[in-house]
Protein backbone atom coordinates (compact mmCIF):
# COMPACT_ATOMS: atom_id res chain seq x y z
CA UNK A 1 0.00 0.00 0.00
CA UNK A 2 3.01 2.29 0.39
CA UNK A 3 1.68 4.16 3.42
CA UNK A 4 3.74 6.54 5.55
CA UNK A 5 2.76 8.20 8.85
CA UNK A 6 2.02 11.92 8.77
CA UNK A 7 1.58 14.58 11.41
CA UNK A 8 -1.65 16.63 11.54
CA UNK A 9 0.26 19.65 10.22
CA UNK A 10 1.12 17.67 7.07
CA UNK A 11 -2.47 16.86 6.08
CA UNK A 12 -3.34 19.94 4.03
CA UNK A 13 -0.89 20.77 1.26
CA UNK A 14 -0.98 24.42 0.20
CA UNK A 15 0.92 24.91 -3.04
CA UNK A 16 1.91 27.57 -5.51
CA UNK A 17 -0.90 26.30 -7.74
CA UNK A 18 -3.57 27.19 -5.17
CA UNK A 19 -5.05 30.20 -6.99
CA UNK A 20 -5.55 28.28 -10.23
CA UNK A 21 -6.85 25.11 -8.59
CA UNK A 22 -9.33 26.92 -6.34
CA UNK A 23 -10.70 28.84 -9.32
CA UNK A 24 -11.10 25.56 -11.18
CA UNK A 25 -12.89 24.02 -8.18
CA UNK A 26 -15.31 26.94 -8.01
CA UNK A 27 -16.02 26.60 -11.72
CA UNK A 28 -16.69 22.88 -11.47
CA UNK A 29 -18.89 23.21 -8.39
CA UNK A 30 -20.88 25.95 -10.12
CA UNK A 31 -21.13 24.35 -13.56
CA UNK A 32 -20.83 20.56 -13.01
CA UNK A 33 -21.99 20.19 -9.43
CA UNK A 34 -23.78 16.86 -9.91
CA UNK A 35 -20.61 15.31 -11.35
CA UNK A 36 -18.23 16.45 -8.59
CA UNK A 37 -20.43 16.37 -5.45
CA UNK A 38 -22.56 13.42 -4.30
CA UNK A 39 -23.73 11.79 -1.07
CA UNK A 40 -26.01 9.03 0.16
CA UNK A 41 -28.73 9.46 2.78
CA UNK A 42 -27.28 8.71 6.20
CA UNK A 43 -23.85 10.20 5.45
CA UNK A 44 -24.75 13.61 6.88
CA UNK A 45 -23.06 13.12 10.26
CA UNK A 46 -19.77 11.94 8.72
CA UNK A 47 -19.79 14.86 6.28
CA UNK A 48 -20.37 17.38 9.08
CA UNK A 49 -17.56 15.75 11.05
CA UNK A 50 -15.28 16.04 8.02
CA UNK A 51 -15.87 19.78 7.80
CA UNK A 52 -15.38 20.22 11.55
CA UNK A 53 -12.09 18.29 11.40
CA UNK A 54 -10.89 20.39 8.48
CA UNK A 55 -11.80 23.67 10.15
CA UNK A 56 -9.99 22.64 13.33
CA UNK A 57 -6.90 21.67 11.36
CA UNK A 58 -6.91 24.91 9.36
CA UNK A 59 -7.35 27.02 12.49
CA UNK A 60 -4.22 25.42 13.92
CA UNK A 61 -1.97 25.28 10.88
CA UNK A 62 -3.43 27.43 8.06
CA UNK A 63 -5.69 30.05 9.67
CA UNK A 64 -5.56 32.30 6.62
CA UNK A 65 -7.48 29.70 4.57
CA UNK A 66 -10.55 30.07 6.79
CA UNK A 67 -11.13 33.64 5.68
CA UNK A 68 -13.99 33.96 3.24
CA UNK A 69 -13.24 35.57 -0.10
CA UNK A 70 -12.42 34.67 -3.69
CA UNK A 71 -9.98 31.96 -2.56
CA UNK A 72 -11.73 30.87 0.64
CA UNK A 73 -14.78 28.85 1.54
CA UNK A 74 -18.23 30.38 1.59
CA UNK A 75 -20.23 29.07 4.54
CA UNK A 76 -23.76 29.64 3.30
CA UNK A 77 -26.89 27.94 4.66
CA UNK A 78 -27.81 24.98 2.52
CA UNK A 79 -24.32 24.24 1.21
CA UNK A 80 -23.26 20.64 1.64
CA UNK A 81 -20.44 20.30 4.23
CA UNK A 82 -18.18 18.64 1.66
CA UNK A 83 -18.75 21.49 -0.77
CA UNK A 84 -17.67 23.97 1.90
CA UNK A 85 -14.63 21.80 2.58
CA UNK A 86 -13.85 21.59 -1.11
CA UNK A 87 -14.04 25.38 -1.46
CA UNK A 88 -11.55 25.84 1.38
CA UNK A 89 -8.62 23.69 0.24
CA UNK A 90 -7.14 22.08 -2.87
CA UNK A 91 -7.79 18.54 -1.63
CA UNK A 92 -10.70 16.42 -2.83
CA UNK A 93 -12.74 14.52 -0.22
CA UNK A 94 -14.12 10.98 -0.05
CA UNK A 95 -16.00 9.61 2.98
CA UNK A 96 -16.04 5.83 3.47
CA UNK A 97 -18.27 4.35 6.16
CA UNK A 98 -18.30 0.83 7.61
CA UNK A 99 -21.04 -1.49 6.42
CA UNK A 100 -22.06 -5.09 6.92
CA UNK A 101 -19.49 -6.40 4.44
CA UNK A 102 -16.88 -3.65 4.09
CA UNK A 103 -16.31 0.07 3.98
CA UNK A 104 -18.23 1.82 1.20
CA UNK A 105 -18.08 5.26 -0.34
CA UNK A 106 -21.02 7.26 1.00
CA UNK A 107 -20.10 10.84 0.07
CA UNK A 108 -17.53 12.78 -1.90
CA UNK A 109 -16.49 16.11 -3.33
CA UNK A 110 -14.09 15.15 -6.11
CA UNK A 111 -13.35 17.97 -8.56
CA UNK A 112 -10.16 16.43 -9.93
CA UNK A 113 -10.88 12.75 -10.75
CA UNK A 114 -8.37 10.80 -12.81
CA UNK A 115 -10.59 9.11 -15.39
CA UNK A 116 -13.24 7.92 -12.98
CA UNK A 117 -16.72 9.04 -12.02
CA UNK A 118 -17.84 9.82 -8.47
CA UNK A 119 -21.41 8.80 -9.29
CA UNK A 120 -20.19 5.39 -10.53
CA UNK A 121 -18.28 4.73 -7.29
CA UNK A 122 -20.85 6.07 -4.82
CA UNK A 123 -22.31 3.34 -2.63
CA UNK A 124 -19.71 0.75 -3.63
CA UNK A 125 -17.41 -1.09 -1.24
CA UNK A 126 -13.64 -0.95 -1.49
CA UNK A 127 -13.02 -3.96 -3.71
CA UNK A 128 -15.76 -2.78 -6.08
CA UNK A 129 -14.31 0.74 -6.18
CA UNK A 130 -10.92 -0.70 -7.12
CA UNK A 131 -12.36 -3.43 -9.30
CA UNK A 132 -10.90 -2.04 -12.54
CA UNK A 133 -7.39 -2.02 -11.02
CA UNK A 134 -5.65 -5.22 -12.22
CA UNK A 135 -4.67 -7.48 -9.33
CA UNK A 136 -6.10 -5.27 -6.61
CA UNK A 137 -8.50 -7.81 -5.15
CA UNK A 138 -5.94 -10.61 -5.12
CA UNK A 139 -2.95 -8.65 -3.82
CA UNK A 140 -4.39 -5.78 -1.79
CA UNK A 141 -8.05 -6.49 -1.08
CA UNK A 142 -7.56 -8.15 2.31
CA UNK A 143 -4.67 -5.88 3.49
CA UNK A 144 -6.70 -2.77 2.65
CA UNK A 145 -9.75 -4.09 4.51
CA UNK A 146 -7.59 -4.86 7.56
CA UNK A 147 -5.96 -1.45 7.42
CA UNK A 148 -9.32 0.33 7.34
CA UNK A 149 -10.57 -1.72 10.27
CA UNK A 150 -7.46 -0.98 12.37
CA UNK A 151 -6.94 2.70 11.54
CA UNK A 152 -7.05 4.47 14.90
CA UNK A 153 -8.48 7.94 15.59
CA UNK A 154 -5.71 10.52 15.48
CA UNK A 155 -3.59 8.40 13.13
CA UNK A 156 -2.86 10.11 9.80
CA UNK A 157 -1.20 8.22 6.95
CA UNK A 158 -0.40 9.09 3.36
CA UNK A 159 0.74 7.61 0.08
CA UNK A 160 1.67 8.93 -3.36
CA UNK A 161 0.13 7.78 -6.61
CA UNK A 162 1.33 8.84 -10.06
CA UNK A 163 0.08 8.62 -13.63
CA UNK A 164 1.11 9.85 -17.05
CA UNK A 165 -1.57 11.89 -18.79
CA UNK A 166 -1.87 13.45 -22.21
CA UNK A 167 -3.42 16.62 -20.79
CA UNK A 168 -2.83 18.92 -17.81
CA UNK A 169 -6.59 19.08 -17.17
CA UNK A 170 -7.38 18.38 -13.52
CA UNK A 171 -10.94 17.19 -14.20
CA UNK A 172 -10.31 13.95 -16.12
CA UNK A 173 -13.71 12.35 -16.58
CA UNK A 174 -12.98 9.99 -19.48
CA UNK A 175 -9.99 8.56 -21.22
CA UNK A 176 -8.74 10.48 -24.23
CA UNK A 177 -6.77 9.07 -27.16
CA UNK A 178 -3.08 9.84 -27.35
CA UNK A 179 -2.26 13.18 -28.98
CA UNK A 180 -2.06 12.54 -32.75
CA UNK A 181 1.26 14.37 -32.97
CA UNK A 182 2.96 12.51 -30.08
CA UNK A 183 6.50 11.42 -30.97
CA UNK A 184 9.63 10.30 -29.08
CA UNK A 185 11.02 13.78 -29.77
CA UNK A 186 8.15 15.80 -28.25
CA UNK A 187 6.85 13.44 -25.54
CA UNK A 188 8.50 15.45 -22.78
CA UNK A 189 6.59 18.57 -23.82
CA UNK A 190 3.33 16.84 -24.76
CA UNK A 191 2.77 14.50 -21.79
CA UNK A 192 2.15 15.36 -18.13
CA UNK A 193 3.08 13.68 -14.86
CA UNK A 194 0.08 13.71 -12.55
CA UNK A 195 0.66 12.98 -8.86
CA UNK A 196 -1.94 12.33 -6.18
CA UNK A 197 -1.03 12.76 -2.52
CA UNK A 198 -3.60 10.57 -0.78
CA UNK A 199 -4.20 10.91 2.97
CA UNK A 200 -6.37 8.69 5.19
CA UNK A 201 -7.60 9.22 8.76
CA UNK A 202 -10.39 8.05 11.04
CA UNK A 203 -13.40 10.22 11.90
CA UNK A 204 -13.84 9.18 15.54
CA UNK A 205 -17.50 10.14 16.05
CA UNK A 206 -18.95 8.52 12.91
CA UNK A 207 -16.23 5.81 12.65
CA UNK A 208 -15.88 6.70 8.97
CA UNK A 209 -12.54 6.89 7.16
CA UNK A 210 -11.76 10.16 5.41
CA UNK A 211 -9.75 9.87 2.20
CA UNK A 212 -8.38 13.09 0.70
CA UNK A 213 -6.55 13.61 -2.58
CA UNK A 214 -4.23 16.49 -3.42
CA UNK A 215 -3.54 16.53 -7.16
CA UNK A 216 -0.68 18.15 -9.07
CA UNK A 217 0.12 18.10 -12.79
CA UNK A 218 3.53 19.00 -14.22
CA UNK A 219 4.82 18.87 -17.75
CA UNK A 220 6.86 15.69 -18.07
CA UNK A 221 10.05 17.51 -19.05
CA UNK A 222 9.84 19.66 -15.92
CA UNK A 223 9.03 16.71 -13.65
CA UNK A 224 11.75 14.46 -15.07
CA UNK A 225 14.56 16.97 -14.87
CA UNK A 226 17.62 14.69 -14.75
CA UNK A 227 18.92 11.56 -16.50
CA UNK A 228 18.63 9.64 -13.22
CA UNK A 229 14.93 10.51 -12.86
CA UNK A 230 14.28 9.57 -16.48
CA UNK A 231 15.99 6.21 -15.99
CA UNK A 232 14.02 5.58 -12.79
CA UNK A 233 10.68 6.29 -14.44
CA UNK A 234 11.54 4.16 -17.48
CA UNK A 235 12.46 1.27 -15.20
CA UNK A 236 9.19 1.60 -13.28
CA UNK A 237 7.16 1.62 -16.49
CA UNK A 238 8.92 -1.46 -17.89
CA UNK A 239 8.36 -3.31 -14.61
CA UNK A 240 4.64 -2.60 -14.73
CA UNK A 241 2.52 -5.62 -15.72
CA UNK A 242 0.82 -5.26 -19.12
CA UNK A 243 -2.66 -5.25 -17.57
CA UNK A 244 -1.69 -2.38 -15.28
CA UNK A 245 -0.15 -0.51 -18.20
CA UNK A 246 -3.44 -0.84 -20.04
CA UNK A 247 -5.41 0.31 -16.99
CA UNK A 248 -3.17 3.37 -16.71
CA UNK A 249 -3.78 4.14 -20.38
CA UNK A 250 -0.13 3.56 -21.27
CA UNK A 251 -0.78 1.69 -24.51
CA UNK A 252 -1.32 4.67 -26.84
CA UNK A 253 1.59 6.65 -25.38
CA UNK A 254 3.98 3.95 -24.11
CA UNK A 255 6.34 3.62 -27.06
CA UNK A 256 6.91 7.35 -27.51
CA UNK A 257 7.17 7.89 -23.76
CA UNK A 258 9.77 5.16 -23.22
CA UNK A 259 11.80 6.28 -26.21
CA UNK A 260 11.89 9.83 -24.85
CA UNK A 261 12.81 8.63 -21.34
CA UNK A 262 15.59 6.42 -22.69
CA UNK A 263 17.05 9.32 -24.63
CA UNK A 264 16.90 11.59 -21.57
CA UNK A 265 18.44 8.89 -19.37
CA UNK A 266 21.34 8.52 -21.78
CA UNK A 267 21.99 12.23 -21.97
CA UNK A 268 24.74 13.90 -19.96
CA UNK A 269 25.45 17.55 -19.20
CA UNK A 270 27.70 19.13 -21.78
CA UNK A 271 30.73 21.00 -20.59
CA UNK A 272 32.27 24.01 -22.33
CA UNK A 273 35.02 26.43 -21.46
CA UNK A 274 32.74 29.28 -22.45
CA UNK A 275 29.85 28.12 -20.28
CA UNK A 276 29.02 30.19 -17.17
CA UNK A 277 30.07 28.78 -13.80
CA UNK A 278 26.50 28.94 -12.45
CA UNK A 279 23.01 29.63 -13.70
Tens digit of each residue's pLDDT (9 = 90 or more) over 143-197: 888 888 899 999 999 999 999 988 899 998 766 566 788 999 999 999 999 999 9
pLDDT band at 69 (very low <50, low <70, confident <90, very high): very low
Of residues 84, 97, 106, 130, the one with CA closest to residue 39? 106
Q: Distance between CA 200 and CA 157 in Å, rounded?
A: 5
- Scanning the chain, the segments in alpha helix (DSSP H) are 18-31, 33-36, 44-61, 81-88, 118-121, 126-129, 136-139, 141-150, 187-190, 220-223, 227-239, 242-247, 251-266
pLDDT at residue number 177: 60
pLDDT at residue number 270: 46
Give the tens place of pLDDT for each residue, 237-249: 999 888 877 777 6
CB 45 within 8 A of CB 53: no
Q: Distance between CA 205 and CA 153 in Å, rounded?
A: 9
Q: Distance between CA 167 and CA 189 in Å, rounded?
A: 11
pLDDT at residue number 22: 96
pLDDT at residue number 175: 60
SS3 106: strand
Predicted confidence (pLDDT) at residue 45 exceeds the cutoff of 50: yes
Amino acid sequence: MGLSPLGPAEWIDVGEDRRFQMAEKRRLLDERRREVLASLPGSEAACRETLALLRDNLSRFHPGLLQSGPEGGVDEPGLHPLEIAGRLVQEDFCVLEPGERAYRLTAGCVCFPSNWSLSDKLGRVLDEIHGPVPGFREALGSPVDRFFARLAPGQVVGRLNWLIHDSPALFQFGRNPAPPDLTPENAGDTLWLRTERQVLQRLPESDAVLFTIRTRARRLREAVASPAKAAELAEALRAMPPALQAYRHMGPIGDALLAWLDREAASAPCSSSSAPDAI
